[in-house]
Structure 1
């Protein structure tokens, strides 16, 4: 028997859906594709990036850094400028690791998000 795993989506927990949607629309320069008070979704090149307001359905969640969503970007310096304009806290500064630039920031809800970009 052959089992093949694929990942086509992930979600992060948010405390304030409207604030989170506003933040990610500005960061990603995309409009949310599914808007809901409990679960909203961005389509990023076929990948579903969800925002889940877990407290609205009484689901307990412990915030931390045990799962780190990572976005690949073409121009990390340009995205870094956008993060600064959004007043994001940079939790891991722009660092070259092997053939990639890595940066980690805290979003509007306190989630840590990683950005990577190939060294050119």
Structure 2
């Protein structure tokens, strides 16, 4: 079997607020905007935003699925976390710096960066 994961979506309560958050965080405009489902193209990976309440669906937030975004270096990681609710403080795990924050909709997102010589928290 050949399996490829090309996308994921996050449930959102307020599409406009979520789009503003991710446009700022990802430093790029939304690729496709809709009241029910909007999407960002992140280097060929589709990151969707799904307004589940408008679709009449229930949703239970949990921590068993954690999207992970990687940036180039520790300095960028620290800058992206500024002003965000940090759930898991930045820590070195193996060859990566790892942290977790909460987005504007209550989703937990992991943010990582490779460890480079001379890095200091």
TM-score range, shorter chain: over 0.9
Partner of 2:111: 115
Q: How far apart in 2 are the matches of 1:114 and 1:106? A: 9
Aligned length: 116
Give the Å deviation of 1:80: 2.5
Give the Å deviation of 1:75: 2.2
Q: 1:42 aligns with which of 26, 40, 43?
A: 40
Which residues of structure 2 form unaligned runs of 5+?
117-121
Give the Å deviation of 1:83: 2.8
> Which runs of 4 or more aligned residues in structure 1 lie more than 4 Å from their structure 2 counterparts after TM superposition?
none
| 1:16 aligned onto 2:53 | no
Q: 2:25 aligns with which of 27, 30, 34?
A: 27
| 1:52 aligned onto 2:50 | yes
1:29-80, CA deviations, whole angstroms, 9 ceiling, x for partnerless residues? Answer: 0100000001000000000000000000111110121110001110233233
Give the Å deviation of 1:82: 3.1
Q: How far apart in 2 are the matches of 1:10 and 1:65? A: 15
TM-score computed with the length of structure 2 as normaliser: 0.92
Partner of 1:76: 74
1:65-111, CA deviations, whole angstroms, 9 ceiling, x for partnerless residues? Answer: 11100011102332332332xx3100000000011000100000010
Which residues of structure 1 form unaligned runs of 5+?
none
